[in-house]
């Protein structure tokens, strides 16, 4: 159990880091340590190729240790010494609070030391070093672990940890009274996975609504809030009783939190909250950089030497090249549960071999390819559920393949079960329109915004995700009739649709606060910006509002006579827009929708190499048919795999 959740923690740290940059505006670097021993080696397992030393402060993986989070006493002392000798100032939690609340400023190169889990070594190994260096630290305690009865144990991965492995309350009080240590909450008993779906996945307890196998239902929002509040209240009251002061900080287990859990913690006096990883910085302000909420921490893993730590402190993460696979859950679904699991296994094996860093996972069901789904793969309050499958597949992809999972969702193209409501909300065509436009709901109607917003929030509630892909149905044509409540075609209409997607993202962030956003765009508005009036799509506008823009780089779809020239022209148009190359993903097609024949892997990889040679950074493709090995994996890997990218270190 503990080993499984340690892997979860590694993946969650990775997911928080890979789309991030080290916050240049941040006034402090927060380090997260765990156990400290005298006999520690290096990382016990090779990290996933995407989860490398740039994502955490790690050591030499050639010297294995059973506990990947442990640091040797010698290395910790050396790190403390280096910080002092090189102009870093180790600060207290109070100093951070004062600075964030505007009462003072932090010294240059401020560092906050934090130690999770309340292990005995924080008293026997760390506390003497803190006194010697006169350094401050925050120690986060799991109440249920500190209260282990005689004979009780915690599965800590390397071995069962007993009461003797954790600091006593008397030791914690002694450290608090020294003035060097502040005891914080690590929750009372949320440092674990709980049953999160019918298939049996264990997901960090703070993240999810629990699945009840006896009642065959998920917990409600009210039950989730009551569970989190009861746990944090117990933790706060116990620390107040045992230490003499209620905690002012909570370190979220695995770095996992929601906006709801944040609000509860703050209401209980835990005004500073800490997660793991690094904050998303574009285009949204870093969540926690300018206040006391969800402050990111750099995790110390693999017993790093001073050299390893120095590198991580001095080399900001500026991002990485995206390699995204857009996956149809329709290919995984099967009415036979056994066959469905076999399908999932084939998908996971393929993703493990391919090593992308993102999977854009279909959250809706569209087996007929209508483009307007009438059912979805997650529990919700608005339309039928074909199968409760998204959570299962998304979590397996995250934990087994180490990829970011984005929920791929339509924006407007929905088929509602109420036909009368559908006809009332559906966008109509202006008289004389010479073609049948796609089925879409009118985003200027409040009922549409409510229904689609509910779907997005329900998706977010059902599964932890790293981001949202807004699908290519998000268009408003100049031939559409919205009534009198829509702006005229052009930038105003484009912005109105952007505002709607940002409203949807805000609904998602209630349960997944740090999601990134990707918006599909057709090639035509990139090649011919004046066509914005036809689509309500604009590359410059999208770049200003989404983390990435996925341009449909599909020459076959556009009936291009010369694919190479067409792609070159597209790449030049993207590059001409400020930040275009930096934040545009070129999404290639693997099937000709005209002939319904696969595009050969040779053609696909040639297009990928051409784009990269022209300066493109980010690639994606759709669809991936894992059952038919289409596109051919052996040919695809050298041109596409993130593991094949040159190291940035």
310 and 343 in a single domain? The answer is no
Q: What is the DSSP string of 474-523?
A: ----TTEE-TTSSPPTTHHHHHHHHHHHHHHHHHHTTTSTT-EEEEEE-H
Task: Report the C-alpha gap between 470 and 578 in whole angstroms.
Answer: 22
Q: Which pLDDT value is given to residue 361?
A: 98
Q: Which pLDDT value is given to residue 480?
A: 87
Torsion of CA 561, 565, 545, 445, to 10 degrees: -10
pLDDT digits (tens, 9 = 90+) for 153-176: 999 888 899 999 999 999 999 999
pLDDT digits (tens, 9 = 90+) for 212-242: 999 999 999 999 999 999 999 999 999 999 9
Q: Is residue 187 part of a domain?
A: yes
Higher pLDDT, 643 or 302: 302
Q: Which pLDDT value is given to residue 18?
A: 34
Which of 4-8, 321-325, 433-437, 600-604 shows the lowest per-residue confidence on average (mean pLDDT)? 4-8
Average pLDDT along the chain? 88
Which of residues 259, 290, 314 is at a domain's end? 314
Q: Is residue 124 part of a domain?
A: yes
Partners of 520 in the beta sheet?
A: 550
Task: Report the C-alpha gap between 176 and 244 in whole angstroms.
Answer: 9
Task: Report the C-alpha gap between 62 and 46 in whole angstroms.
Answer: 9
Task: Report the C-alpha gap between 254 and 9 in whole angstroms.
Answer: 5
62 and 204 in a single domain? The answer is yes
pLDDT band at 286 (very low <50, low <70, confident <90, very high): very low
Task: Report the C-alpha gap between 438 and 412 in whole angstroms.
Answer: 10
Q: Are 290 and 313 in contact (CB under 8 A)?
A: no
Half-sphere exposure of 380 (CA within 13 A, CB side): 30
Give the single-character DSSP code of 609.
H
Calculate mean pLDDT across residues 426-442.
79
Torsion of CA 236, 240, 242, 247, to 10 degrees: 60
Q: State percent of the chain over pLDDT 70.
A: 87
pLDDT band at 489 (very low <50, low <70, confident <90, very high): confident
Q: Is residue 72 part of a domain?
A: yes
Q: Domain limits at 388?
A: 323-644
pLDDT above 90: residue 478: no
Higher pLDDT, 643 or 585: 585
Residue 278 is inside which H or E element, if any? none
373 and 400 in a single domain? The answer is yes
**SS3 category, 142:** coil
99 and 239 in a single domain? The answer is yes
Q: Which pLDDT value is given to residue 432?
A: 67
Calculate mean pLDDT across residues 402-414.
97
Q: Which pLDDT value is given to residue 596?
A: 86
Q: What is the DSSP string of 350-386?
A: HHHHH--SEEEEE-EE-TT--SS-SEESS--SSS-BS
pLDDT digits (tens, 9 = 90+) for 15-59: 334 333 333 336 899 999 999 999 886 544 444 333 333 345 555
Which of residues 314, 332, 354 is at a domain's end? 314
369 and 246 in a single domain? The answer is no
pLDDT digits (tens, 9 = 90+) for 554-578: 999 888 899 999 999 999 999 999 9
Q: What is the DSSP string of 121-181?
A: HIIIIIHHHHHHHT--EEEEE-HHHHTPPTT-EEE-SSSEEEGGGB--HHHHHHHHHTTSE
384 and 275 in a single domain? The answer is no
Task: Please give the structure tokens belonging to residue 476.
Answer: 């408003």
pLDDT above 90: residue 282: no
Torsion of CA 90, 94, 97, 102, to 10 degrees: -90
288 and 394 in a single domain? The answer is no
Q: Which pLDDT value is given to residue 301?
A: 87
Calculate mean pLDDT across residues 56-77.
74
Q: Which pLDDT value is given to residue 485?
A: 76
Using CA atoms, how far residue 26 sits from 22, 96, 101, 274, 289, in Å, is 8, 11, 14, 14, 6
Calculate mean pLDDT across residues 404-432.
93
Task: Please give the structure tokens belonging to residue 509.
Answer: 């962030």
Q: Is residue 226 part of a domain?
A: yes
301 and 336 in a single domain? The answer is no
Q: Which pLDDT value is given to residue 3?
A: 44
Calculate mean pLDDT across residues 480-491.
84
Q: Which pLDDT value is given to residue 17?
A: 40
Higher pLDDT, 271 or 40: 271
Calculate mean pLDDT across residues 475-493.
86
Q: Is residue 139 part of a domain?
A: yes
Task: Report the C-alpha gap between 590 and 587 in whole angstroms.
Answer: 10
Q: Looking at the 3D structure of the chain, how many domains does it have?
A: 2
Task: Please give the structure tokens belonging to residue 122.
Answer: 């924080």
pLDDT band at 644 (very low <50, low <70, confident <90, very high): low
308 and 334 in a single domain? The answer is no
Q: Which pLDDT value is given to residue 481?
A: 85
Q: Which pLDDT value is given to residue 433?
A: 67
Q: Which pLDDT value is given to residue 22?
A: 34
pLDDT above 80: residue 279: no
pLDDT band at 291 (very low <50, low <70, confident <90, very high): confident
CATH of the domain at 40: 3.20.20.370
Task: Please give the structure tokens belonging to residue 226.
Answer: 């009551």
Q: Is residue 605 part of a domain?
A: yes
Task: Report the C-alpha gap between 24 and 28 in whole angstroms.
Answer: 10
Which of residues 288, 314, 340 is at a domain's end? 314
Buried b (16+ CB within 10 A) or exposed e, 213-229: eeeeebbeeeebbebbb
Task: Report the C-alpha gap between 486 and 480 in whole angstroms.
Answer: 10
Using CA atoms, how far residue 479 sits from 295, 436, 497, in Å, is 47, 10, 16
Q: Which pLDDT value is given to residue 42?
A: 53
272 and 330 in a single domain? The answer is no
Peptide bond into 636 cis (omega under 30): no
Q: Is residue 649 part of a domain?
A: no
pLDDT above 60: residue 94: yes
Calculate mean pLDDT across residues 355-380.
95
Buried b (16+ CB within 10 A) or exposed e, 293-311: bbbbbbbbbbbbbeebbbb
pLDDT above 50: residue 125: yes
Which of 38-52, 110-124, 614-628 shows the lowest per-residue confidence on average (mean pLDDT)? 38-52
pLDDT above 90: residue 9: no
CATH of the domain at 405: 3.20.20.80
Q: Are 436 and 399 in contact (CB under 8 A)?
A: no
Q: Which pLDDT value is given to residue 60?
A: 52
Q: Are 122 and 172 in contact (CB under 8 A)?
A: no
228 and 372 in a single domain? The answer is no
Q: Which pLDDT value is given to residue 63?
A: 54
Task: Please give the structure tokens belonging to residue 539.
Answer: 């590359």
455 and 400 in a single domain? The answer is yes
Half-sphere exposure of 26 (CA within 13 A, CB side): 25
Q: Is residue 153 part of a domain?
A: yes
Cα 337 off chain centre by: 28
Calculate mean pLDDT across residues 303-315.
80
């Amino acid at each position: 159990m503990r080993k499984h959740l340690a892997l979860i923690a590694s993946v969650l740290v990775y997911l928080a880091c890979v789309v991030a940059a080290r916050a240049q505006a941040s006034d402090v670097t927060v380090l997260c340590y765990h156990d400290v021993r005298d006999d520690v080696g290096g990382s016990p397992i090779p990290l996933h190729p995407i989860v490398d030393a740039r994502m955490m402060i790690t050591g030499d993986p050639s010297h294995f240790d059973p506990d990947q989070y442990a640091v040797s006493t010698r290395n910790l002392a050396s790190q403390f010494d280096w910080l002092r000798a090189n102009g870093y100032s180790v600060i207290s939690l109070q100093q951070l609070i004062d600075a964030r609340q505007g009462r003072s400023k932090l010294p240059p190169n401020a560092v906050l030391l934090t130690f999770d889990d309340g292990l005995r070594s924080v008293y026997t190994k760390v506390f003497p070093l803190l006194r010697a260096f006169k350094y401050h630290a925050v120690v986060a305690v799991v109440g249920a672990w500190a209260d282990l009865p005689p004979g009780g144990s915690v599965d800590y991965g390397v071995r069962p940890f007993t009461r003797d492995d954790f600091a006593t309350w008397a030791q914690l009080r002694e450290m608090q009274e020294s003035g060097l240590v502040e005891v914080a909450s690590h929750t009372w008993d949320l440092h674990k996975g709980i049953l999160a779906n019918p298939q049996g996945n264990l997901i960090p307890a703070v993240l999810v609504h629990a699945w009840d196998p006896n009642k065959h239902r998920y917990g409600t929002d009210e039950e989730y809030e009551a569970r989190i509040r009861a746990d944090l209240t117990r933790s706060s009251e116990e620390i107040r009783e045992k230490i003499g002061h209620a905690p002012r900080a909570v370190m979220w287990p695995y770095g996992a939190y929601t906006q709801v859990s944040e609000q509860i913690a703050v209401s209980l006096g835990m005004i500073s909250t800490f997660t793991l990883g690094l904050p998303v910085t574009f285009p949204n302000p870093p969540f926690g950089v300018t206040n006391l909420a969800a402050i990111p921490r750099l995790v110390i893993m693999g017993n790093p030497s001073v050299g390893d730590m120095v590198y991580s402190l001095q080399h900001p993460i500026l991002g990485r090249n995206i390699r995204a696979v857009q996956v149809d859950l329709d290919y995984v679904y099967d009415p036979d549960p056994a066959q469905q699991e076999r399908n999932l296994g084939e998908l996971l094996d393929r993703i493990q071999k391919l090593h992308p860093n993102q999977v854009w996972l279909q959250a809706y069901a569209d087996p007929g390819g209508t483009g307007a789904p009438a059912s979805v793969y997650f529990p919700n309050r608005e339309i039928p559920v074909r199968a409760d499958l998204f959570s299962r597949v998304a979590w397996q992809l995250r934990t087994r393949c180490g990829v970011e999972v984005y929920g791929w969702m339509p924006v407007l193209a929905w088929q509602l079960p109420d036909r009368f409501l559908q006809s009332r909300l559906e966008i109509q065509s202006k008289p004389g329109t010479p073609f049948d436009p796609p089925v879409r709901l009118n985003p200027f109607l409040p009922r549409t915004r409510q229904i689609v917003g509910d779907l997005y929030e329900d998706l977010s509630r059902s599964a932890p995700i790293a981001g949202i892909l807004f699908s290519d149905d998000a268009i408003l044509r100049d031939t559409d009739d919205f009534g009198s409540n829509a702006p005229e075609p052009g930038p105003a209409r484009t912005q109105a649709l952007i505002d709607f997607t940002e409203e949807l993202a805000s609904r998602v962030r209630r349960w997944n606060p740090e999601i990134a956003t990707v918006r599909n765009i057709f090639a035509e508005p990139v090649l011919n910006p004046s066509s914005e009036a036809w689509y309500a799509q604009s590359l410059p506008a999208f770049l200003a509002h989404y983390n990435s823009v996925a341009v449909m780089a599909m020459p076959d779809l556009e009936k291009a006579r010369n694919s190479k020239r067409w792609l070159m022209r597209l790449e030049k148009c993207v590059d001409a827009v400020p930040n275009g190359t930096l934040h545009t993903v070129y999404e290639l097609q693997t099937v000709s929708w005209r002939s319904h024949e696969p595009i050969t892997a040779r053609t696909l990889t040639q297009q990928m190499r051409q784009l990269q040679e022209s300066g493109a950074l980010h690639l994606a493709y759709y669809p991936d048919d894992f059952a038919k090995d289409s596109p051919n994996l052996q040919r695809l890997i050298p041109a596409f795999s993130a593991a094949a990218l040159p190291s940035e270190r």
